[in-house]
Amino acid sequence: MSLSEQCTFRGTPYVTGAASATLLATDLELSFWGGVDPRTGEVIDRFHPLSGCFLKDTILAIPGGRGSCGGSVIMMELILNGLGPKGLIFARREEIITLGVIVAEELFDRTAAVVTLSPEDFREVLGWNGKTVHIQGDLVSNTPLEANTAIGAAKPSFDLNSYNIQLTETDRAMLRGASGEAATISLRIIIKMASMMGAQELIDICQAHVDGAWYGPGSVTFAQRLRDWGGKFQVPTTINSLNVDQKRWRALGINTEFGSACDELAKAFVDMGGKISFTCAPYLLETAPKLGDPIAWGESNAVIYANSVLGARTLKNPNMFEVLIALTGRAPKAGPYLDENRFASIWLRVTPPEDTDDSFWPILGYALGSIANTRIPVISGLEHLKPSKDNFKAFSAAFATSSSASMFHMVSLTPEAPTLEAVCAKGIVPEVLDVGWKELDAIWDEFNHGSEPREIDLISFGNPHFSYNEIKELSKLCLGRIKKKDVAVIVTCGRSQYGLASQAGYVGELEAFGVQFLQDTCWCSIEEPVIPKNTRAIMTNSGKYIHYGPGLTGRQFAFGSLEMCVNAACIGKTTGDPPSWLLKARSS
């Protein structure tokens, strides 16, 4: 089809609206969290083809989201700040970003049109990039559409009969207001999302981990409004990491207005019954769920770890959706809650290099996540490596960053995959792809921008939060060594793991070396002045932070193993050389 042809496509409108604007389009998924700045509307994912573009007053066409569950709150903040797109066009059902639009519409009467096209029609629309595009309800066109005054004239009413969801009498009573306004609004949104997911009923969940405590003006209003409407969590609920170390932010020089707002946001969740956990690694807590437990977790790395490593069951909940589920105790019976949606649809056959170290797992996770994309992979070839909980943590975080899948399986290593066939529908093995050192080498170069040597000013550990064992290992690597004076080393961790490591003496040993510990917060939220203003380059062992860090901080980045990071802390630079296992693979 030529660009001069007039063409109109019909799709599925998940948020009905009307919009006309210049199309900003790409065939690569985008994580709104860490990929878009809600204060400016700029795409800040420096690995993405739309990097540097602004979303304000555009119609954005992307296949879907990827990475962080926090994209929903960024979408909401963009709408409330007047910096978001007027409409969104997807190639598949996109729950995370769409939830942000639905919350903005339900709680704040602000919205954007959301339409999903068939993959074939979406590819045609990509050819309109830079041209004016029009959305009207379920229609997407490159020519003006006849205005429908019923679309966008007023906030749509909630018609329960239009949603084919089986509800219990308790659900119906909740919709009538029996449990308060917060529960009513929450259940309305849950029903809308359940319909979008194709669920026919709701299920009870046994615990939640809420990722809504990330600061933004809209986030504060969201949490406080639900609390003031009488919201109370109906199941045990832990709270994700905050933007600040709650006990020390004043001493760290954090702006008083910002720190106080973060405190108010956290207080709203505590007031609703949230536990003071403030960690992005809830699987390290004693309350971690067990095999088969239906839960509602936010935070992408935690979702992947829970579904894959623990064998619990949770949706890859958009940020804020797990809050709504916790307020009702009810979730759509869809996605990974169902056996048939936990089967693998691609087999990744890995040939790992010999003598790998801890840097192998985030590199592998990012590589396999990129390959799997939306598909749940079953991974073989790693059985002899016996990954630790921390290896799984690093893998899960990197996998969650580069993919939009809700889980993975590793043959004989994760609980649902004792064999390859066990995680294949009807035992039928899916498409197989081989992954070797060359694919891992490409990720190393991507992480390190061609493996250039550079001066290092800051070492970042703890994305996701460091465990007790990682703190212990770091202490061993630093023992008897001297940190370069002008290199900062900062570890983020949860209160529980910090307490254990402190009692064991590891925190004291590391502080003597020059390590600074931050609790409650995580690297995805840390800015100046915690990151010293004169910092030019940051080194990390995190596959998640090496992806998001450049856009979030504006600094140069380097990646390496735990030991490589400690070496850089002592000499003030990194050589840029790959780890020995990758060097050996290159030369073989």
DSSP notation for 511-556: HHHTEEEEESB-GGG--TTTS-TT--EEEES-TTHHHHHHHHH--E
Question: Matching CATH topology for 8-141 and 163-304+317-336?
Answer: no
- Percent of the chain clearing pLDDT 70 (strictly above): 97
Asked if residue 156 has pLDDT above 70, the reply is no
CA separation for the pair 313, 335 (Å, rounded): 9
- For domain 446-585, the CATH class is alpha beta
List alpha helices for 356-388, DSSP H: 360-372
Fold for 8-141, please state it: Glucose Oxidase; domain 1 (3.50.30)
Tens of pLDDT, residue by residue over 358-410, are: 999 999 999 999 999 999 999 999 999 999 999 999 999 999 999 999 999 99
Nearest by Cα to 380 from 432, 331, 315? 432
pLDDT of residue 152: 55
- Which one, of 471, 474, 448, lies nearest residue 543 by Cα? 448
Per-residue pLDDT, 33: 86
Q: What is the mean pLDDT of the chain?
A: 94
Q: How far apart are the first and last CA of the chain?
A: 49
Confidence check: pLDDT of 2 > 70: no
* Residue-range domain boundaries for the chain: 8-141, 163-304+317-336, 343-435, 446-585
- Structure confidence at residue 151 (pLDDT): 65
Instruction: Tell me if residue 195 is catalytic.
Output: no
Checking if the pLDDT of 453 tops 90, the result is no
What pLDDT, on a 0 to 100 scale, did the predictor assign at position 69?
82
pLDDT band of residue 68 (cuts 50, 70, 90) is confident
- Is 443 a residue whose pLDDT tops 70? yes
How remote is the C-alpha of 71 from its chain's centroid? 7
Pick from 480, 487, 532: nearest CA to 514: 487
Specify the fold of 163-304+317-336.
Aconitase; domain 3 (3.30.499)
More confident residue, 156 or 204: 204
Tokens encoding 83: 């910096």
At 150 the pLDDT is: 57
Residues 31, 68, 241, 467: which is the catalytic one? 68
With cut-offs at 50, 70 and 90, classify the pLDDT of residue 458. very high
Q: What is the mean pLDDT of residues 269-298?
A: 97
Res. 1 pLDDT band, cuts 50 70 90: very low
